[in-house]
Structure 1
Amino acid sequence: MKTKIMLTCALAALTTISCNDLDVDIKSQYTEYPIDSDIALEARVSNAYYAFRAPLNRRYDELLSLSSDEYSAVCFNGGWLDGRQYSNCSTHSWEASANNNQLNVYSDILAGITNCNQLLEDLGETNPETSNPVRAARAFYTFLLMDNFGDTPIVDYKLTQGSKTINRSPRADVARWIESELLDVRDKCPSEVNESTYGTPTCWMVDALLAKLYINWNVYTQDVTSSSWNPNASNEKLDDCIAACDRIIQSGLFNLNDDYKEKFMYNNGPQIKDFIYAVPYEATLNQGMCYARYRTWRYGGANGFYTTVLTPSCGGNFAMNPEFADLFCLPGDRRNDVVVGDPSKETTPVYEYDPVTGEVTNTPHMYEGKQVVFTKHITLIREDGDLDVGADGTRQGYRSIKFYPDPNDYNVYERNQDNDIPIFRYADIILTKCEAITRGGAATLGDTPKSLFNQIRTYVSPNRDGSLDIDHDPSLQEILDERGREFLDEHWRRNDLIRFGDYERAWGFKYINPDNAQLTRRIFPLSQDVLNSNTNWTQNAGY
């Protein structure tokens, strides 16, 4: 278990009140906390900064990871079917009611915006050191809603004060508002990178968000659901994207020196120089992170997949799609070590993993007297939206151990893990600049698409010897594939697939839903709960 200084026990005792109803005075939803006490102010700032922790630790992960080409959400003779709420994500069959659990992340993120607005209104102009990072957090939450759900309300208390109802704004307007907010606060946010600023908005977090906004500018400011939308159209913000990347690169505060696998382990934290902005978790106070529960083999806990037996059961319903597993094919690539399974083979014998280092051992993983063998491909017992592999299908699909758990904490704290989840990484900045130049942006700092791409390849190659480097400028397809390898389980794959025009490609069992390739699927529907709470809103097109 790791110790974090960001939150005290006093903060953990305060309850964040969630709100998804915009038809009432926003301020009336909250118990008033004073801001003249350092502890009270810290607690309210914490509520603003870490509002994404709750959705990210499970439901946002399900919605984003299962809707990409990374995983199929299988069930086992009906086990883990749960009304198809998981398999619907994999077949792009999201439903406003059936997927309330996943789609209600909208409400959680919106509550974060409300936390920010309440604090900003109470602070007024008296504490810019606090208010500017809070505005950055509010812009980030608004970005998440816009990216996933399209048209989004611009909930700025200065704009909405006194309003009885708040309408959703066009996606393009929201993108421009986010840009203006970020540009306004960028130079007013902290530039220090240390333990005290870890997990909080800094000017570098703002730059990383700007880069993400700009590289997706054509997605947000044009009608991405139209058949005339072109993923390769000219992007007016490419040079702005590169400039945001360059500010981070030239800061000298971030690098790729961390070992790929080690930086996602349960003891990660502010010492990781690749992390620009991360959401911190800790198995006791800052709970909820439980990715191993769903990605581990279903019976892996019962007999020591992690050498140490996991006493709470594992779900094991995230089976990696073979098309995605095939990306982990580069000889000696360190990223291969976070996938349990050899994509060059149809079957892979499984060995135990060291509970301390997370590295594979020479000890066969045994179950019922036989070594466990995973199959790359997944076979359903019937062709329907249940995605049922049967009771004996638990070994189908390769698995991810990228966010490797501390088995002791997993057992003692009911599956809770200590792994922090990165949102923005330096590696993403390098590949984003590579992509922006490839798409037509002006090269800077002597960088080329090849040199940037090879920074990634070198740091994941055996002994960093450069043996995986390429000898040419990468194509857009090569960049997309590299992003798949680099950012597995980090919730950017759907975003990437849409931007590259690849979201309608066939993978997994999407074909079971005849409407899976409708362009409106590039935006999630609103949950029934959100629609019931905001009766002036209408459902997104296509649902």
Structure 2
Amino acid sequence: MTNNITIKNRLLISAVLLSFLLSSCSLDIDETDSLITEGGSSVFNGVENPAGSVDNLYNNISGQIASQEEMYALSEVTSDILLVPTRGTDWGDNGVWRTLHAHTWGPTHRDIVNVWNNKNGAVLRATEVIDPLSKATVEQVAHAKFVRAYNMWIIMDYYGQVPFRNPTDGPDVIPTVYNRSEAYDLIVQDLNDAIAGLPASNPTSDNKTRAVKATARFLLAKVKLNAEVYLGSYGANDLQDVIDLVDQIEADGYSLVGGSYFDLFVGPTFTNSDVIWNVTADVGTKMWSALHYNQAHPENGGGGWNGFTTLAEFYDKFEGPTNDNSIGSGQEERRGYTHTLASTNADNQGFGYGFQLGQMYGWRDGAAVPLETRTGAPLAFTKELPGLVGNNEVTGMRLLKYSPANGAFTSGTVLARFADAHLMRAEAMLRLGNTGGALAEVNELRALRENTPPLSSLDEQGLLDERGRELYQEYVRRNDMIRFGVFDDAWEFKEAGDGHTNLFPIPASALLSNPNLVQNEGY
């Protein structure tokens, strides 16, 4: 990836995150750490400003979500939804993108290392707020426990092992390492504690960047729905707990929302009752990493970075014409549309939503015009790609869950929606044998989406497909595919695997600094 805008983006994100990356892979505390004070402990005497520390915990999450790398790459590019093909020399990056899609990554992969470091650092920072020495309020502790649970869940889900240290441990103390079962228990406890101490839910609030009771219930339902992956089997009450938690979220006033599907993702504030949690991160990287250099916007004259694409196999899971996704072609609403010449205007600047296929248009000098590539050929994105290499400027459809039609760098990235919770409840019903109830849940959602007829039957593959159609680019696909047992299957440009990539490797640097860690099988 050689685009200058992308490089600048990395530098900006690095600057935002710098203050949070104070701990090494072994979670050592450097003597220059601002939290070290004089007093009874030479290591830690409490966080001086718990309120500010809680702010930083949430800002940390937002800063990481702002990138097209790290969590976005590991959760979406590793799946059957996104890939980043090399175009000439662009987006080569020594293979970091191709290895994610092909599942051939190793323990020094940039994103695997960075997510490990960032999330482990966040767990320590949250634990410092929770420590009684910090004298945080009940609500501040509840926020810190939610954030710790969220970050620890990602480590447990991605890597299967979770290092942990108490703030009062000296820098020479090697962190304990929790296995999945131990980490699971702490995450569940933290979330139950957070539910008790967090503010009441408010589904129409204009600020959903902080957790409320419903946010913690949502994450707890997500954790319990994956209990079979984490623990080897579901507990007696896990699936019923998922149903009960979603019922409680619904009782708080959160609900499925009809109308325009893509309007649900227009920030910076989200007052609709579907959105449960969002972060302030702008969505620029989710858009411009895919769009072509010549797809400019009044707020971004440099255009896109021409990288990320989506797969024909995923596109074909949606209903509609096979080779036409232009506006008004009868496709189901969630597949989105590309603008035609007649429908392009100054308001949308030629940008559509969802899958961008075929000729692209722009708004130039008061008129709609068909766009061209840098060599003067029609800028028409193709459904098929030749592979992970050998691509040109137009191969591959582009995917816009967030669209520049709403602004070049609109703030607000959605991380939790009731639609996801609703489908989690349906899945729990299906796994408990209530297929009829699960089908009714799915069709209740589909009824709100235009040109999306009801399903006549439902099995696990059908529910996974429905989750893909509703929740693509929302950081859930890798997790879903593992839970449904298909993450090691073959798909376009990826061979079938042996299952070891269900976990990422422990970074090589972490193994060197913490002998309690053991490399995951297959690496």
TM-score, L = length of structure 2: 0.81
Matched, 1:61 2:72: yes
Which of 483, 491, 497 is the matching residue for 1:507?
A: 491
Equivalent residue number for residue 277 of structure 1:
277
How many pairs align?
A: 471
Aligned equivalent of 1:88 = 99
Identity %: 22
Alpha-carbon shift at residue 369 of structure 1 (Å):
5.2
CA distance in structure 2 between the partners assigned to 1:528 and 1:398 by the alignment: 36
Equivalent position amino acid for 1:421 in 2: T
The one-letter code sitting in structure 1 at the alignment partner of 2:162 is T
Partners of 1:313 and 1:536 in 2: CA distance:
47
Equivalent-residue separation in structure 2 for 1:172 and 1:50 (angstroms):
29
By how many angstroms is 1:82 displaced?
A: 0.9
> Retained in 1: the 8 A contact 2:383–2:396?
yes
Q: Which of 445, 448, 473 is the aligned partner of 2:437? A: 448
SS of the equivalent of 2:510 reads helix
Q: Which amino acid aligns with 1:522?
A: N
Deviation at 1:403, TM superposition (A): 1.6
1:332/1:510 Cα in 2 relative to 1: closer, same or farther (>3 Å)?
closer
Please tell me whether the aligned partners of residues 81 and 311 of structure 2 are also in contact (alpha carbons under 8 angstroms).
yes
Residues in 1 aligned to 2:310 and 2:100: alpha-carbon distance in whole angstroms: 14
> What amino acid sits opposite 1:490 in the alignment?
E
| Distance (Å, rounded) in 2 between the aligned partners of 1:103 and 1:448 | 42
Per the alignment, residue 85 of structure 2 pairs with 74
Structure 2 distance, partners of 1:347, 1:250, is: 38
Query: Could you tell me which amino acid in structure 2 is paired with residue 397 of structure 1?
Result: G
Contact 1:61 1:491 in 2 (8 A): yes
1:21-72 per-residue CA deviation (whole Å, 9 max, x = no partner) reads: 26565485631399xxx99544321111232223222222122211001122
Out of 276, 282, 285, the residue aligned to residue 290 of structure 1 is 285
Residue in structure 2 matched with residue 17 of structure 1 by the alignment: 20
Offset at residue 90 of structure 1 (A): 0.5
- The answer (yes or no) to whether the contact 1:525–1:540 under 8 Å persists in 2 is yes
Paired position in structure 1 for 2:390? 389
Moved more, 253-262 or 273-282: 253-262
Q: Distance in 2 between matches of 1:322 and 1:156?
A: 48
Aligned pairs for 1:74-473 (under 5 A) are: 74-97=85-108, 99-121=109-131, 124=134, 126-155=136-165, 157=167, 164-193=173-202, 195=205, 198-222=208-232, 236-257=237-258, 259-265=260-266, 267-282=267-282, 289-297=284-292, 299-301=293-295, 304=296, 308=298, 310-312=300-302, 314-330=304-320, 331-337=330-336, 348-352=357-361, 364-367=370-373, 370-380=377-387, 387-390=388-391, 393-405=392-404, 410=408, 417-440=409-432, 448-462=437-451, 468-472=453-457
Match of 1:9 in 2: none
Distance change in 2, residues 1:441/1:141 (3 Å): farther
Q: Distance in 2 between matches of 1:199 and 1:252?
A: 18
Question: What is the CA deviation profile of residues 388-408 of structure 1, one whole-angstrom value per residue up to 9, with x for unaligned ones?
Answer: 124xx2211111011223786
User: Relative to 1, partners in 2 of residues 1:13 and 1:300: Cα closer, same or farther, differing over 3 Å?
Assistant: closer
Question: Where does structure 2 lack aligned partners over 5 or more consecutive residues?
Answer: 1-14, 38-46, 321-329, 341-354
Query: CA, structure 1 residues 363+14, in 2 after alignment: closer, same or farther (shift >3 Å)?
Result: closer
Residue 407 and residue 365 in structure 1: after superposition, are their counterparts in 2 closer, same or farther (change >3 A)?
farther
The Cα shift of 1:365 comes to: 3.3
8 Å CA contact retained: 1:168, 1:537:
yes
Q: Aligned pair in 2 of structure 1 residues 39, 536: CA closer, same or farther (>3 Å)?
A: closer
Q: Is the 8 A contact 1:258 1:274 kept in 2?
A: no
Contact 2:99/2:105, CA 8 A, preserved across alignment: yes
For the residues of structure 2 that align with 1:459 and 1:258, how far apart are their CA atoms?
Answer: 7
Alignment partners' CA distance in 2, 1:245 and 1:14: 33
For 1:266-317, what per-residue CA distance to the aligned partner results, in whole angstroms no more than 9, with x for missing partners? x3423232111112125xxxxx8512222223x343xx4x5x4843353222
Question: Does the aligned pair in 1 maintain the 2:264–2:270 contact within 8 Å?
Answer: no
Name the SS of the counterpart of 1:503 in structure 2. coil
Q: What is the aligned-residue RMSD (CA, Å)?
A: 3.4
Encode CA deviations 1:164-221: one digit per residue, 9 max, x unaligned: 0113211122112211221223122111426575111111011101110111110011
Counterpart CA distance in 1 for 2:299 and 2:417 is 33
Check whether the contact 1:47–1:115 (CA below 8 A) recurs between aligned residues: no
Cα distance, 1:528 vs. partner?
3.1
Distance 1:238 1:184, change over 3 A: same
Q: Given the alignment, which residue of 530, 538, 541 partners 2:510?
A: 530
Counterpart secondary structure, 1:524: coil
**Letter of the structure 1 residue corresponding to residue 475 of structure 2:** H
1:44 maps to: 53
| Alpha-carbon distance, 1:493 to partner | 0.6
Helix, strand or coil for the counterpart of 2:381? strand
- Paired residues of 2:201 and 2:214 also in contact (CA < 8 A): no
Q: Residues of 1 paired with 2:461 and 2:235: CA distance?
A: 17
Change (3 A) 1:519 1:195: same
- Runs of 5+ unmatched residues, structure 1: 1-11, 223-229, 283-287, 356-360, 381-386, 411-416
Change (3 A) 1:45 1:354: farther
Distance 1:17 1:432, change over 3 A: closer
For residue 200 of structure 2, what is the amino acid of its counterpart?
Answer: S
Amino acid across the alignment from 1:428: D
Give the conservation status (yes or no) of the 8 Å contact 1:218–1:235.
no
The two structures have a TM-score, normalised by structure 1, of: 0.78
Q: Is the 8 A contact 2:129 2:136 kept in 1?
A: no
Note if contact 2:356-2:398 (Cα within 8 Å) is conserved in structure 1. no
Deviation at 1:116, TM superposition (A): 1.2
